[in-house]
């Protein structure tokens, strides 16, 4: 997606061209650091086995695991790496771990970008944002996400692709991807049974469930409580947070900047923030503050 959607003082073309340069080296370094963090938290789980430290170790591992959504997001934009093949390989790896096939997610997400906060056309608003505290807690639990992902993937694998944002030309690919994904899961299950191993359950499925609330809260902060207007610097929230969260999230806390200029790679977003921060209408200093803003809005 190479369009720009900024209004009211966009970045000049020369600066934008420089910021838009993609890099295999920077993408590989970022992805390697994410995998290293995942390996470290997985090792921490193994060391904490049969101790009281297992629960926090599992939660931390789940947190790092579900934030593979960040490289998935970056690679479906094909901005994580300069190489299209690298983008597609990493997108498949991350998408498989999160039950989110890249072809389907790309059509969903690009439609969201083109129609952000448009109640009639933004697919993120097909399921209404939480309107009360109970709905907020259900959303943050992650259970509605897993229910939708399993049901939708099974429907696609059966050949039923009815989402209006999926172009007719992409429907066969969406079906194929869903079938491949189910085949991968079947193979993992078969190998686990034959080997008598619970590794996929203990280090993937359970942590993914435990970590999903962190990701749901992170994603709710992107647009919840923002105006239903087409201006990307008003309809998206930038959450500055801290360096560790920004790194794990591939700079997606700079979300208004990303929506204004979706072709910018993750490593250019801090520079974009420096140029645009005075024009961004909705900001929060961190994710706890963003959740307080959202909950305050729910309470009227």
Instruction: Give the residue with greater pLDDT, 128 vs 244.
Output: 244
Say what the pLDDT of residue 278 is.
94
Burial code (b: 16+ CB inside 10 Å, e: under 16) for 278-294 equals ebbebbbeebeebbebb
Q: Is the dihedral of CA 267, 245, 77, 184 positive or negative?
A: positive
Nearest CA to 78 out of 20, 16, 5, 153 is that of 20
> How does pLDDT run across 28-85, given as a tens digit for each residue?
999 999 999 999 999 999 999 999 999 999 999 999 999 999 999 999 999 999 999 9
What pTM was estimated for this model as a whole? 0.94
Q: Is 18 exposed, middle or buried (0-12, 13-18, 19+ CB in 10 A)?
A: exposed
Residue in this structure with the two tokens 């297992």, named with its chain if needed: 54
Say what the pLDDT of residue 239 is.
97
| Rounded Cα gap, residues 18 and 26, in angstroms | 15
Say what the pLDDT of residue 8 is.
47
| Rounded Cα gap, residues 273 and 275, in angstroms | 5
Q: What is the mean pLDDT of residues 4-20?
A: 77
| Rounded Cα gap, residues 254 and 275, in angstroms | 12
Across the chain, mean pLDDT equals 95
Say what the pLDDT of residue 9 is.
56
Structure tokens that stand for 212 in this block: 């999903």
pLDDT at 213 over 70: yes
| Rounded Cα gap, residues 29 and 78, in angstroms | 16
Say what the pLDDT of residue 116 is.
96
Say what the pLDDT of residue 171 is.
97
Label residue 127 by pLDDT band (50, 70, 90): confident
Other Cβ atoms closer than 10 A to 138 = 14
pLDDT at 145 over 60: yes
Say what the pLDDT of residue 4 is.
55
| Rounded Cα gap, residues 119 and 123, in angstroms | 8
Structure tokens that stand for 138 in this block: 């259900």
Say what the pLDDT of residue 129 is.
87
Say what the pLDDT of residue 5 is.
58
Nearest CA to 258 out of 103, 73, 83 is that of 73
Instruction: Give the residue with greater pLDDT, 2 vs 299.
Output: 299
pLDDT at 1 over 80: no
Q: What is the mean pLDDT of residues 208-229?
A: 96
> How does pLDDT run across 235-277, given as a tens digit for each residue?
999 999 999 999 999 999 999 999 999 999 999 999 999 999 9
List helix spans (H) across 115-239: 133-141, 143-157, 168-195, 199-200, 206-223
Nearest CA to 255 out of 276, 144, 244 is that of 276
- For the chain, helix, strand, coil in percent to 5 are 65, 0, 30
Nearest CA to 264 out of 18, 8, 12, 10 is that of 18
pLDDT at 299 over 90: no
- Cα 130 to chain center, whole Å? 19
Say what the pLDDT of residue 15 is.
93
Structure tokens that stand for 115 in this block: 């129609």
């Amino acid at each position: 997606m190479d369009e720009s959607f900024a209004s009211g003082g966009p970045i000049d073309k020369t600066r934008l061209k420089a910021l838009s340069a993609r890099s295999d080296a920077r993408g590989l370094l970022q992805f390697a650091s994410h995998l290293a963090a995942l390996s470290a938290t997985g090792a921490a789980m193994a060391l904490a086995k049969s101790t009281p430290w297992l629960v926090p170790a599992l939660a931390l591992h789940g947190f790092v695991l579900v934030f593979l959504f960040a490289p998935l997001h970056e690679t479906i934009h094909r901005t994580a790496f300069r190489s299209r093949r690298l983008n597609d390989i990493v997108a498949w790896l991350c998408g498989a771990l999160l039950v989110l096939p890249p072809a389907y997610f790309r059509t969903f997400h690009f439609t969201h970008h083109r129609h952000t906060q448009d109640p009639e056309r933004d697919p993120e608003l097909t399921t209404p944002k939480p309107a009360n505290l109970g709905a907020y807690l259900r959303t943050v639990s992650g259970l509605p996400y897993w229910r939708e992902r399993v049901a939708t993937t099974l429907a696609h694998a059966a050949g039923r692709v009815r989402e209006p944002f999926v172009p007719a030309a992409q429907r066969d690919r969406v079906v194929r991807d869903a079938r491949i994904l189910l085949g991968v899961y079947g193979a993992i299950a078969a190998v686990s049974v034959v080997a008598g191993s619970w590794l996929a359950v203990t280090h993937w499925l359970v942590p993914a469930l435990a970590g999903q609330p962190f990701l749901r809260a992170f994603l709710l902060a992107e647009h919840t409580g923002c105006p239903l207007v087409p201006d990307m610097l008003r309809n998206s929230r930038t959450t500055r947070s801290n360096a560790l969260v920004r790194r794990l999230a591939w700079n997606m806390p700079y979300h208004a900047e990303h929506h204004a200029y979706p072709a910018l790679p993750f490593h250019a977003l801090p520079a974009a923030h420096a140029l645009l921060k005075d024009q961004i209408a909705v900001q929060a200093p961190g994710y706890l503050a963003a959740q307080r803003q959202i909950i305050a809005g729910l309470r009227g």
